[in-house]
Amino acid sequence: MITLNRAVVVEGKYDKARLAALIDAPILQTDGFGIFRDKELQALLRRYATTCGLILLTDSDSAGRLIRGRIESVCGKDADVVNLYIPKREGKERRKTAPSKENLLGVEGMDTETLVNLFSAYQAAEGTKKDPLERGDLYELGLFGGRDSKSRREAVLKELGLPEELGVARLLDAVNFLVGKQRFLEICARLFTE
C-alpha cells in the first residue's frame, strides 16, 4: 500500500473503491459533475489544497477534463494541486454492459501496475503515519450522537477552517490527515473547557 501526504480526488465511488485498495490517503469523490453544485465539497477541496495538497485523478475523457478544470478553478491558482493522468486505453469496465461514450477505460478500469506507478512518486516517507482519531473518539467528545453534538461539531469545524456542515466520516478523514489526533484533542479541550 502506498501512503500519501496528499488527498486524492476521483470522479466516482468505483474509482474510489479501486484506489482504496492501493493507497493510504483520504480519497474524495466528486460524484461526477456533482462538484459543480456541492459547495461543502468545494470548500473541503480548497482546505486540502491549501494545507497538504491534492492529487487529481480523473478519467481521460472530456467529462474528466471538465471536472478537473472545475476543481482547479475552485481551489485557485495558488493551491497545491498535482494532476495525474491515466493513459488513454480503449475498452469497457467489467461492471458495465457497454463502453463509455468515448470508448475509453476510466480510473476503475486501469490495471494495478499503472495506478501504482502513477502514485509511487508521491509516496510519503516512512514513519509519517499518525495515531488516528476514531469514530468512538468523536462520540466521547460529544461531537455526534448526543445533545448539543451538532453545535459542538460546528464549533470545532469552524475552529479548523472546515465546512460547518461536514459529516462525521469526512470530519474524521480531514482531522486525521490535516490536523492529527493530539492537536485535535487539544483544540477540543480548549473549546469545551472555556
Question: pLDDT averaged over consecutive 10-residue blocks of the chain (194 residues)?
Answer: 92 94 94 93 92 91 91 91 87 77 85 90 66 89 88 89 82 84 91 81
In whole angstroms, give the CA distance from residue 164 to residue 126: 33
In a domain, 33, yes or no: yes
- What pLDDT, on the 0 to 100 scale, is given for residue 98? 76
- What pLDDT, on the 0 to 100 scale, is given for residue 163? 81
What is the H or E stretch that residue 179 is in?
Answer: none
- What pLDDT, on the 0 to 100 scale, is given for residue 120? 87
Closest CA to 10 of 26, 29, 38, 37: 29
- What pLDDT, on the 0 to 100 scale, is given for residue 104? 84
Domain of 90, CATH number, reads 3.40.1360.10
- What pLDDT, on the 0 to 100 scale, is given for residue 118? 87
Q: Are 14 and 95 in contact (CB under 8 A)?
A: yes
One domain for residues 147 and 57:
no
Q: Into how many domains does the chain fold?
A: 2
- What pLDDT, on the 0 to 100 scale, is given for residue 128? 52
One domain for residues 88 and 168:
no
Segments forming the whole domain that contains residue 162: 135-193
One domain for residues 33 and 90:
yes
One domain for residues 52 and 14:
yes
In whole angstroms, give the CA distance from residue 34 to residue 15: 15
One domain for residues 58 and 153:
no
In a domain, 77, yes or no: yes
In a domain, 128, yes or no: no
- What pLDDT, on the 0 to 100 scale, is given for residue 170? 83
- What pLDDT, on the 0 to 100 scale, is given for residue 129? 54
- What pLDDT, on the 0 to 100 scale, is given for residue 19? 95
- What pLDDT, on the 0 to 100 scale, is given for residue 78? 86
One domain for residues 17 and 111:
yes
One domain for residues 101 and 181:
no
Residue whose grid cell is 497538504: 52
